Amino acid sequence: MNDCKNCGVELEYTMLMCPLCGQAVAGNQAAVDKSDDRTDLIANKPARRVADGQEKTHQSLVWEILTIMLISGIMATLVINFLLSKRITWAQYPVCICLVILAYGSLLTFCSRTHLLVSIAGGFISSSVVLLIRDSLGAEPAWGLKIAIPILGVGSLIATGLVIIIRKSTSKGINLFAYLLIGGGLFCISIESILSVHQHLSLNLEWSLIVMLSVLLVSIVLLFMHFRLKKGRSLAKTFHI
């Protein structure tokens, strides 16, 4: 038996601190510190597990809702198209769109944020397979390989570029909205370019340039505001308000 140096209470040899006054047993302070660290880890593990479990549950719920909505849309369009035309015609378009959204949504939901680029690449590959299967079934017109896949490819490249730019941004504020707007403008130009080359065998841009000019002006204003705020200059003084 040991005695507490502070209050004199008899202590068991296995005790790290006095149960009466809380004084650490002489020579066992390091053991007490390790015990405290171990206690903190043990106490924090359940909290982290609960948080991770809640996040996974939330992701699963979002995916289930998305899947139910998309499958319901697919079934509804197929039934309506078949009842009206006795065959599947226009329903192929919303069905392909829903399947593409489901492919990207599933990968983005269940893959971690660190593997976001892998999710985008996987979404493009799986969506391309769906579109190629659609073309191989003899559906007319065969726009999967010539139009849809190139548009998806450009969109995936733009999304990849945005992810890299956002991750490398030292400050994240309204500048992110500017980057997203510019990416959307580039995507519109890509869509019109692909359609123009496919239909007219020449590049003829019209509406996409208007969209790009509009988002570019807004993006410049957002970037100006972001970097002014970053430097600490008051916008009220800048605009005399």
Instruction: Give tens-digit pLDDT for 169-225.
Output: 887 788 899 999 999 999 999 999 999 998 888 888 999 999 999 999 999 999 988
Q: What angle do CA 59, 62, 63 make, to 5 degrees?
A: 85
Cα distances (angstroms) measured from residue 121 to each of 9, 40, 55, 163, 185:
68, 40, 24, 12, 21
The pTM of the full predicted model, rounded to 2 decimals, is: 0.63
CB 204 within 8 A of CB 196: yes
Q: What is the pLDDT of residues 91-143, one digit of tens each?
A: 888 888 888 888 888 887 877 666 788 888 888 998 899 888 888 877 667 78
**Domain edges within the chain:** 169-241
Cα-only R_g, the chain: 30
